[in-house]
Structure 1
Amino acid sequence: MATVRQDGDTLAFAGALDRACVVALWPQVRNASARRLDLTAVDTVDSAGLALLAELCERLGIAEVVGEPSGLAELRTAYRLDRNLAFAG
Structure 2
Amino acid sequence: MATATVRQDGDTLAFGGALERTAVATLWPQVRNASARILDLRAVQSVDSAGLALLAELCERLGIVEVIGEPTGLAELRAAYRLDRTLAFGS
Query: What TM-score results when the alignment is normalised by the length of structure 1?
Result: 0.99
Unaligned ranges ≥5, structure 1: none
Matched with 1:86 is 88
Matched length = 89
Q: Any gaps of 5 or more consecutive residues in structure 2?
A: none
TM-score by length of 2: 0.97
Is 1:36 the counterpart of 2:64? The answer is no
Query: What does residue 75 of structure 1 align with?
Result: 77
CA separation in 1, counterparts of 2:85 and 2:76?
12
Stretches of 4+ aligned residues off by more than 6 angstroms? none
Q: Deviations over 1:25-52 (max 9, x none)?
A: 0000000000000000000000000000
How well do the aligned residues superpose, as a CA RMSD in angstroms? 0.4
- Which structure 2 residues correspond to residues 39-50 of structure 1 after superposition, within 5 A? 39-50=41-52
Give the match's secondary structure for 1:70: coil
Q: What residue number does 2:56 align with?
A: 54
Q: Percent identity?
A: 80
**Distance across 1 between alignment mates of 2:26 and 2:11:** 21
